[in-house]
Each structure stands twice: as structure tokens, then as C-alpha cells.
Amino acid sequence: MKRQGTLNELREWIEEYKKYLMNLGELGDKIVQVLILRDKINNLMHKLEEKGADLSVEKSKLDTLDHIIKDEPQTVWKKLKDCIDPATYRVKQKIPPCNWWWYLDQIIRNKKKQLINKWIKRTVIGVSFVTCLYFIFVYAIPKPDPYTTCIQEGERLLQKGKINPALQTYQKATYLNPEKPYAYLMVGVIYQFLGEDERAKKYFREAKKRYTSSYDFHLERGTIWMKLGKFSAAEEDAKQALKLNPASAETHFLLGNAYEAQDKIAQAIAEFSIVSEMKTDPKLIVIARYKIGMLSLKQVSSSPASR
């Protein structure tokens, strides 16, 4: 007759546990059986340790196997939720939190918090870098010419919501330097905001003539629409720019931002993924990958498995 609670039995259970985890994707409703087996392993280990058994080898092997679950908590948690109500089951069976394999929802939440904290730290570093750049530009670079000063004043007025003074300032800029397109573009944008479409079209035509290409015009206008919160218009301009220059990382990035602002998460991730694989400005790649991480986190948090 086989003795119960022996070291050999523990090893057999660990091997059985291993076989289950090697086919994690095909477990189906056996997931409850697997976690109950993990309970049995845990209880037997405690009993054997109380008797003075050396379980260092078994613990090492078990820790390696446990990481299969810890690395894929969402997969296991979803399978478990398909079989039972984990919260009710834990209460009914009086399962303690130290049996973490029944509390994968907490592991998932902790991983999300860790990822968010990681990105927050990176953002703080980025803000510090931008602050340093600000002081360099403010104090180390000579004052701009009258046209540039006018453009900056127009942007300042727009940020304060002073539409008409901003319009007049940009119009003044078109006289200060009639060859530069940006002021014409901004006048067109403001007129469109005011509902004066014909005047807007006129200034857009003037701006477009002064840009080196239609691509540059649509990219610039799309960027402005993004700043002003007109995300649908930004999306349209970005798509127009991509038709003219499909290999533009800046335009894919703009389109990704427009999608993100409209909560089109999957499309945004697709655009930022394109940027991350392109040979372009390393800073743009870093930001694109950052956005992929944040959007993926948002996508996971809104999925049924995480609820």
C-alpha cells in the first residue's frame, strides 16, 4: 500500500503540476484541478518541512514552475473565471491570500500599478529635460525677429482663448513676412473656427502655395488641429499627408495621436508601432514606444478579463 505524504509523492505531484503547465493554453476547465493540486503540494511541503525534510531542490523546481503562472496571470485568471466565480470560491473554501495562485487578480492589479509607476518615473525625467530646454531657449538664445515674435504672440493669445486678437496678430505676421506660410495657415484655421469657411479656404490656398509641398501643408495643418483639439480634422489631414508621403514617421505619429485622442486605441497602437520600426529620429521612436506601452495598458485594463 502506498504511503501518503511522502517525499516521493511530493515529487510526483510536482511532475504532474509541470505537465499541466507545459500545456497551459489547452487546460480549459482543468485549471481548477491544477490549482487544487498546487494547494496539495503546498500543504505537503509544510508537513515534510515540519518533519525536518530538506526540500531545497523541490522548492527551486516549484518556483520555476510557478513563474509560468506568474508570467501569464491574465491567461490563467481568464480560464479560472470561465469555470468558477473565483471570489465566491475563495470565501467558500476559506483560501488564504498566501495561496497566491487563487488571487491572480491581485497580481494583475499589482503589475499594472508597477507599470504605471515605471512610466511615471520616465515622464518625470522627461519633464525635467523639457524644463532644462526651456531655460536654455529662454535665456541663452537671442530674441527672435518681428515675424517670429508675432507668431509667438498669436499662439499665446490663442491659448488664452482670445480669438479675435490672435487673428489680428497672425494677419499682421502675413504683412511682416508675406513669403512664410505659417501665418496664412493660422489665419485660415481661426476663420474656420469662426465658421467663415470661404475666408478660411482663401488663406489655406495662400498657405499651400507657400509650402514646399502639399504634404508639408497637410502635416502642418494636422499638427495645428491636434493642438487645438480638433482631432477628427487632424486625422483627415494626417491621412492626406500619408497619401503624399507614406514613409513619413512624423505623419504616422500624428495620425496615431489623432486616433489616441479619439479613443481609437487599436488604430493608435498600429500607427505608433509603425513609427517604432522606422529609421527615424530616436526621440520619436522612444515616445512612440512609450505610447504603445500606455495604450496597451489602457487596452488591457478595459478588457473583460481584467474586470
Q: What is the pLDDT of residues 231-266, one digit of tens each?
A: 999 999 999 999 999 988 899 999 999 998 998 988
- Evaluate if pTM is beyond 0.75: no
Using the CB atoms, write b or e for 278-307: b if 16+ within 10 Å: bebeeebbebbebbbbbbeeeeeeeeeeee
For the chain, the average pLDDT equals: 85
The alpha carbon of residue 32 and the mean position of all alpha carbons in its chain are separated, in whole angstroms, by 33
Q: Is the pLDDT of residue 2 over 50?
A: no
> Could you tell me the pLDDT band of residue 201, with boundaries at 50, 70 and 90?
very high
Q: Is the pLDDT of residue 153 over 90?
A: yes
Share of the chain above pLDDT 90, in %: 38
Residues 6+ apart with CB under 8 A from 201: 188
Residues 6+ apart with CB under 8 A from 211: 181, 217, 220
Domain ranges of the chain: 7-102, 215-307
Cβ(238)–Cβ(251) below 8 Å: yes
* pLDDT: which is higher, 260 or 121: 260
Q: Is the pLDDT of residue 62 over 90?
A: no
Residues 6+ apart with CB under 8 A from 261: 226, 229, 231, 234
What pLDDT, on the 0 to 100 scale, is given for residue 130?
Answer: 60
**CATH no., domain 215-307:** 1.25.40.10
